[in-house]
Structure 1
Amino acid sequence: MKFKRFVPSGGTRLLRGAAVAASIVVLAACSGTAKPKPAEMPAKVEVLGVRKAWNIQIPQVNFPLVANVANDVVTVAGSDGTVVAIDARNGTEMWRGKAGAPLTAGVGSDGTIAAVVTEENNLVALQGGKVLWTQRLSAETFTPPLVSGRRVFVQTADRSTIAFDGQSGRRLWTQTRNTGDNLVLKRPGVLLGLGDTLVAGVSGRLVGINPANGSSRWEAPIASPRGTNDVERLVDLTGTVSRVDNILCARAYYASIGCVDTSRGVLTWTKPAQGSDGLSGDDRAVYGTESNGVINAWRRSDGERVWSVDAYKFRTLTAPLAVGRTVIVGEGTGQLLFLNREDGTALNRVSPDASAIAADPVMAANTVVVVTRKGGVFGYRPE
């Protein structure tokens, strides 16, 4: 896992503000000792029928892509800056455009405007495959932009949240948080809309923000910094969240998972968890994959463990997708796993193109959409 350390120019403090770019260098990767040998893949079963509905090709994906779903449109991107909007009903390519540079974050879209962030720290908005506008950001960004309510929201690596007008790119407001953290994860964080509130992950907290002016409405901690050094104290919220009504459940990096009642801005429960990918869920349970390849289900009401599956131990897994009777997980050798949501037993698995699943599975138009490292975009329909 890559970390970033903020290195201010000309001093020891991180310089913040719209006009000041934070200088950031690579700190370390979590390598340590050799990884344990992955468990043998269980024998394939086909209890659930799974049909490939369509596929298209984009350039290879070597950045932390988040595929965006808006209505029946799935928007994806390749590492080189190619952005593609797809009609998930039939796999038709609606448009294809270029951001002009390799990407570090994407994609956000409301079905009309799509937004990505380049390695040059440029926020690029596209419409119909054409670049609509570009804005320079003050720091690197790994969280995909959020496009909602005719605005584009961005969360940068210096933990600033910024709002732009969707059509013109005019900067509307900036909220900067001085958390005292020196490290930031090179992976997507939490940024989503919930009713009339913008919800962002800031360090180990979910923060409700007024999208009109950037003022905070509430804060709820999922995890608190612990340990004696910067790495041990890192508790950023990462990946997808599980939402049912006003309850959001999120993961704090290698620390815990927890659920927040956003109508009151209070934490309902939290449990220790050792993972780095996001969560999915339904009205009964929250599902997640741990760093050691174990897949867990926690009871949504109180966080108690419902089931745990170690058949894929030490394999690299994506965050899960809970759909109907299944929990769907991507795997590092290119397998897409379909599990029974009741107990985690295998229902089926498919291999799109024998390359690793590059983005968490998403659901659009009754189709499970996955993207591979080779740039294959596949739509599957479980029977």
Structure 2
Amino acid sequence: MTVRFSQYMRLTLGAVAIALLTGCASKGEPVHTPKELTSFDETSTLETQWSTTVGDGLGRARYPIAPARDGDTLFAADAEGTVEAFNAESGERQWRVELESPVSSGLTATASELYMGTRNGEVLALNQQDGSVDWRARVSSEVLAAPQANQQLLIVQSSDGHVTALDLRTGEERWVYSSSLPRLTLRGTGTPLAIDPVTFVGFANGRLTTLDNRNGQPLWEQQVAIPSGRSEVDRLVDLTGQPVLTQDGRLFVTSYNGRVMALEATRGKVLWARDLSSRHTPVLVGDFLFVATDASHVVALDAESGREVWRNDTLEGRWITAPAFADGRLVFGDAEGYLHLVSAREGKIVGRTRVDSAGISLRPVTEGGTVHVQANNGRLETLVISP
């Protein structure tokens, strides 16, 4: 199979990759048939604290507009540009604005600002107090990854492989880094990880690059996933998650059709690697790295060695979200709108509820034992884990 289209067409036809990956077999069955939900020993419950609906949801393209929480305020948006702020505990709406631009990226809330990207290549900074636009900036193309901030810069990765650093306060462009992309990529981009001196960025060509935040120059690169196979789909090796950094300088990264890898953050030296395909950001808790694979297996790895500690395959084929962590449990949404709790210690399902049949594709937002989840149709629900 040969797929040919220009860089411009990649922006509008990016969903082709997902269609190919989730395409039907000869009898019309999905590649990964979702497992039926089975009974389990329920030791945790999810009780709804409040719920509402934000605009019209994520749109037909299911833009990854994940909510964000900063202190006691939860922010959420829809694909048409409705942005709302809520009291995270009570659900009381604090403000609502209708933007002129359609939102396409996840939200980032920090330093009294709310940052987001749009389909037409804009980046917006909204005042957290009232939703007013403090500045707008233009980048090279559509933004699907949530912009990431350090103390001075806002780092924006756009869908054409460019990484742009903007002044955090004014939106003024500081530098731009460009990478080459394969002809076919997954719908979506990696999410940068920005700290004060450097930014770690994963690309659709399977490479992880560390950029100097002073000028955008690469300091080191590492090939995380190597393309193999005959077809364009077989050769997809996108890094669409966000790297995870530890205080002692280890960096964890996932890849599609590739590996989960641990690296030394200063030089990019490989510490260990395991053959696991994942397009999701992992979560690190203590000595364990938790990964949601593309088959919707939940895998716990020893963060020091990469050894598999446990694996739960009972959600196979259910298109689970990236994992979140809440009070000793891993939290996942799935394509049928269920929210699942998995014991981080044992790997067993311990709780479940259904949020909305429209499905959940966004990683839940957690704070202690509180879980905020936004369904594809815009339903926003806050739940509390008990006990």
TM-score by length of 2: 0.85
2:44 aligned to which of 33, 41, 48: 48
Q: Which has the higher strand share?
A: 1
Measured against aligned partners, the alpha-carbon deviations of 1:204-246 in whole angstroms (never above 9, x if no partner) come to 2332222232122333332233334543333221124444323
**Paired position in structure 2 for 1:167:** 169
Identify the residue that residue 193 of structure 1 maps to in structure 2. 194
Q: C-alpha separation between the residues in 2 aligned to 1:23 and 1:237? A: 17
- Report deviation, 1:373: 1.4
Which of 227, 233, 236 matches 2:235? 233
- 8 Å CA contact retained: 1:22, 1:158: no
Instruction: Choose from 355, 361, 374 the match for 1:371.
Output: 374
**What is the letter of the counterpart of residue 52 of structure 1?**
T
What is the aligned counterpart of 2:268 among 238, 256, 265?
265
Alignment of 1:134 with 2:133, yes or no, is no
- 1:355–1:365 CA distance, 2 compared to 1 (3 A): same
User: What percent identity do the matched residue pairs reach?
Assistant: 24
> How many matched pairs?
367
Report Cα offsets for 1:166-222 as digits up to 9, x if no partner. 333221111112x35223322241212235322211332332222232122333332
- Map of 1:219 onto structure 2: 221
Tell me whether 1:317 sits opposite 2:320 in the alignment.
Answer: yes
Specify the alignment match of 2:246 in structure 1.
244
Aligned letter for 1:26? L
Amino acid at match of 1:187: G
Letter of the aligned partner of 2:6 in structure 1?
V
Structure 2 equivalent of residue 181 of structure 1: 182
Residue of structure 1 aligned with 2:258, choices 255, 260, 265: 255
Q: 1:71 to 1:227 in 2, by over 3 A?
A: farther
Give 1:149 deviation, angstroms.
1.9
Counterpart of 1:7 in structure 2 is 6
Q: Is the 8 Å Cα contact of residues 367 and 380 (structure 1) preserved in structure 2?
A: yes
CA contact (8 A) 1:219 1:266 kept: no
| TM-score normalised to structure 1 length | 0.86
CA deviation string 1:138-170 (max 9, x = no partner): 222221212332432211122111011233322
1:72 to partner: Cα distance:
4.5
Give per-residue Cα distances to partners, 1:322-364, cap 9 Å, x unaligned.
3342111111111110111122111111222343113101223
The whole-number CA distance in structure 2 between the counterparts of 1:58 and 1:361 is 15
Cα distance change, pair 323–5 in 1 and its aligned pair in 2 (3 A) = farther
CA contact (8 A) 2:200 2:243 kept: no
Contact 1:70–1:111 under 8 Å retained in 2: no
Specify whether residues 84 and 150 from structure 1 end up closer, same or farther in structure 2 by C-alpha distance, changes over 3 A only.
farther
Does structure 1 residue 110 correspond to structure 2 residue 127? Answer: no
Secondary structure of the structure 1 residue equivalent to 2:42: coil
Is 1:148 matched with 2:144? no
Matched, 1:287 2:290: yes
Gaps of 5+ in 2: none
Deviations 1:116-146 (Å, cap 9, x if unpaired)? 2222222222223122232332222221212
Q: Note closer, same or farther for the CA distance 1:149–1:56 as it changes in structure 2 (3 Å cut).
A: farther
For residues 57 and 156 of structure 1, do their structure 2 counterparts lie closer, same or farther at Cα, with a shift above 3 Å needed? same
Equivalent residue for 2:53? 57
In 1, Cα distance between equivalents of 2:246 and 2:84: 29
SS in 1 for 2:373: strand
SS, match of residue 104 in structure 2:
strand
Structure 2 counterparts to residues 333-348 of structure 1, below 5 A: 333-348=336-351
Distance 2:170 2:181 in 1: 34
Change (3 A) 1:165 1:208: same
8 Å CA contact retained: 1:248, 1:259: yes
Residues 77, 83 of structure 2: 8 Å contact kept: yes
Closer, same or farther in 2 for the Cα pair 1:135/1:270, shift >3 Å? same
Equivalents in 2 of 1:129, 1:45: separation in Å? 44
1:10-54 Cα deviation digits (max 9, x unpaired): xxxxxxxxxxx8874416321141215422211254302433333
The equivalent of 2:13 in structure 1 is: 26
Structure 2 counterpart SS, 1:104:
coil
After TM superposition, the structure 1 stretch with the greater mean CA deviation from structure 2, 232-241 or 282-291, is: 232-241
Conservation of the 8 A alpha-carbon contact between 1:281 and 1:321 = no
Describe the SS at the equivalent of 1:212: coil
- Structure-1 separation of matches of 2:175 and 2:252: 27
